[in-house]
Structure 1
Amino acid sequence: MSSSAAPLLQLSSAVVLLLVSSCAATDHIVGANKGWNPGLNYTLWANNHTFYVGDLISFRYQKTQYNVFEVNQTGYDNCTTEGATGNWSSGKDFILLDKAKRYYFICGNGGCFSGMKVSVLVHPLPPPPKSSMADHTSAAAAPIGVLGVILGALVSACFGLG
């Protein structure tokens, strides 16, 4: 590869990583169109989703009635907020799932006893696909080949194609 192509390759790679990570994150709306309300099976809802580091979990509810607390397993099992590590009450709460671990969320003002609790297991991000850039041996073709790989990866990541 020529020395003039190296900066283009580095810049293109950085842009792709940024764009792919941005469009690959998912916002999981708890309860979908039914929101965060009593009497729903949030375990079933959570089991139908796969959560990855960098995704968001969103709670939608009437802010004058409910709230959200992040608790440990004991708080989840017993519907208590003691030792909570986070709490939200805006009615449209967006919570970043920034670690691979099990998260526990409950409604802290009584709703937990009516089923308003959800536990989600967050997985590490899968490794990126192997690059085909090593297959390009021609210095002149490398930047064009790299852009093709970049566009292909971006389209695949954002639109689930490929």
Structure 2
Amino acid sequence: MARISMAEVIVALVLSAAMLQVTYAEDYTVGDSTGWVRPSDSTFYTNWAADKVFHINDTLAFDFTTGAHDVAIVTKDAYDSCSTTNPTQLFQTGPVTLTLNSTGEHYYICTITGHCSAGQKLAINVVADSDNTTPGPSGSTTPPSAASSSRGFTFAFFMFVVIGLLF
């Protein structure tokens, strides 16, 4: 049986880690099975996002009926005041899937009259994968979600399998 050097093991581990880091992303359907609708509870989307940690390359799927709802990407001020004028981007044909491509706060509202003020709005914070905690929209700290924790477990399991195959 061929003997594997420590250098080969290290190279395999580094390449495996790089591959895992590049290919992993979480897909979220905003509101889960409820979708993107005018909620009966004004805190519905805040509660939906509260236990999630969003990362670069994760996706948000806004599932809504065209003409009944839309999705506007807005500033914090527009989010807070439910201002529908001058959104950064407006998507009027549903469903819409957006890839999170920058860290920081992200704000979404429905511009249909009365929907935002009824709670059809979403604020999330996108973090880099190396972050262990997430500042929430109000500045509070939220621990990593099960999805985030499973990233570490998946990585550890994958590395265990690679090492096992090498020896």
Report if TM-score (shorter chain) is over 0.5.
yes
Give 3-state SS (helix, strand or coil) of 1:94's partner: strand
Contact 1:155 1:161 survives alignment (8 Å) = no
> Match of 1:56?
59
Question: CA shift at 1:74, angstroms?
Answer: 1.1
Alpha-carbon distance in 1 for matches of 2:153, 2:67: 42
Q: Which has the larger radius of gyration?
A: 1
Q: Which letter does structure 1 place at the counterpart of 2:33? A: N
Instruction: Give the CA deviation at 1:90.
Output: 2.5
In the superposition, the TM-score normalised over structure 2's length comes to 0.65
Greater Cα offset, 85-94 or 68-77: 85-94
Q: What is the number of residues matched between the two proteins?
A: 133
Are 1:117 and 2:117 counterparts? no
Q: Counterpart of 2:22 in structure 1: which amino acid?
A: S
Shift in Å, 1:160: 9.0
Which is helix-richer, 1 or 2?
Answer: 1
In the TM superposition, residue 159 of structure 1 has moved relative to its aligned partner by: 8.2
Q: Which amino acid aligns with 1:30?
A: V
- For structure 2, list consecutive stretches of 5 or more residues without a partner in the other structure: 132-150, 161-167
Deviations 1:56-103 (A, max 9, x none): 111001112100000001111111122311121221111111111100
Residue number in structure 2 paired with 1:156 = 154
Matches within 5 A, 1:73-92: 73-92=76-95
Alignment gaps of 5+ in structure 1: 128-152
Identical-pair percentage: 25
| Equivalent residue letter for 1:33 | S
Q: What is the RMSD computed on CA atoms of the aligned residues?
A: 3.4
Deviation per residue, 1:39-62 (Å, 9 max, x gap): 241000111211111211110011
